Amino acid sequence: MHDHLSWISGHRVLARGGAGFDPASLPGLAARYDLSDPANLFQDGAGTIPAATGQPVGRVSDLSGNGHHLTQAASASRPTIRTVAGRRSVYGSGTQWLDVPASLSLDRRNSTLFVVHRVRSPVTTALWHMPAGFPNYRITLDQTDGGELQFFHGGLLSSGIARSHGIAAAAAVGRSGEIKLFLGRESRGGLAAAEAGSSAGGYLGNSAGNFQIVGHLYAALAYGRALGDEEIARVLAWLTAKYGAVGPEEPSFILFEGDSITQGVGGAPEEDYSAPAQFAARCARQPKWMNLGTGGDTIQNMAANTAATIAHLAKNAAYPNRIARLLIGHNDLNQERTAAQVKADIDAWIAAVRAGHAGVILAGCTILPSGLLTGAKEAARIEVNAHIRNVADFDFASDLAADPRFADPGDAAIYGDGIHPTNAGYAIVAELEHAAFAARGYVAA
């Protein structure tokens, strides 16, 4: 079963693990990497050429003082620095990673790993792999958008903890009697007894040529001993405070459902500038969230296929506020489905999700104007929006369409192609939705 970190640590321990905490104060710190600080990032392996946003990274300094610096000798395999919403990270696009030196050796029955990451990619992603010897010693996120935090330690150990598309701090500890994984509010222990032996060297964001990261890395730490649960909670609280990762006290899980406008088509790049990504960046403390927007999707299809939505909500039962947010209907109207049909499908989706997951909070959004919706289609959009605002059984709705900044689909600064918002347009969506969620206490203002 899942455990809440709060019962391990409580507010007092989390406070001690906040901004004033130093991870070196816990014995056994073997390596520490801050991939958000340019003082630690260099273009070359020797550490002589500083790296800035947009430049490749050939070395990340080990701040533990043990000299286990991350490097990448091949220029084509060097990740780059990105700065998004004021937060810097090292980004791999699927063919880049960093090498962990062989000098970093860990006892598989007495060690702890932490990785702060942001990954939305639907492919399997290796966060940290130390392959020397057998069995493998690897933290991964599995290949589906609804995937889980996994650990390879002589075999695949799936934690049952759902991944996040936001900034997340994951931890894995190997003890003589068990392996335990942590992420957000959740921990899962008793997965297996740790295998004997040690692993040395390896990769951050790669698994021996497979599963290279498509996403952001913010920090990584290794301890040469098995930290206790309370110690792990303190480190996770510190990582949460420093990097804005979803923390064990955050009460909300938000599932963003919809079509290409939820997916972020038109954002450059969409993983950083979609409305859900910009929504999370606005939060003082990040909730756990997932973006399931799919280009071309319709409410007709979604109403007939709610099992995945219900399963995602069930996987995140540790969160008191489990919220499914819906922004869809444009494609249905463009395919000349009537307002009555679209309204009926919205109501059917709401009823099915409520029936499938008790206590779910449902948030709606009105449909934005579009260069494709004119004449009778535009009249249908206005009618459906009135239903979303006043009739549909949403717990609350964000009235995106009423904002005057979205009035003209021909405004290229807001609508890049007359249909999909630009980065600036998605920022408005994020602003309006964040205000609606924050007003109800579901996210931190």
pLDDT (tens digit, 9 = 90+) per residue, 57-72? 999 999 999 999 999 9
Q: By three-state DSSP, how is residue 170 classified?
A: strand
Neighbours of 335 (CB within 10 A): 10
pLDDT band at 132 (very low <50, low <70, confident <90, very high): low
Integer-rounded Cα Rg, in Å, for the chain is: 23
Residue 373, C-beta contacts closer than 8 angstroms, at least 6 positions apart: 330, 333, 334, 380, 381
pLDDT at 15 over 60: no
Question: Which residue is associated with the tokens 């014995």?
Answer: 27
Across the range 329-347, mean pLDDT stands at 98
Distance CA 254, CA 275 (A): 13
* Percent of the chain with pLDDT strictly greater than 70: 94
238 in Cβ contact with 248 (< 8 Å) = no
Least confident of 81-95, 201-215, 274-288: 201-215
Is the confidence at residue 209, as pLDDT, over 70?
Answer: yes
Tokens standing for 80? Answer: 């780059």
Per residue in 262-273, pLDDT tens?
A: 999 999 999 999
Query: How is residue 85 annotated by DSSP?
Result: T
**Helix H or strand E segment including 81:** strand 80-84
With cut-offs at 50, 70 and 90, classify the pLDDT of residue 121. Answer: confident
CA 203/CA 194 separation, integer angstroms: 21
Strand order in the sheet with 361-365: 288-291, 252-258, 321-327, 361-365, 396-398
User: What is the pLDDT at residue 14?
Assistant: 42
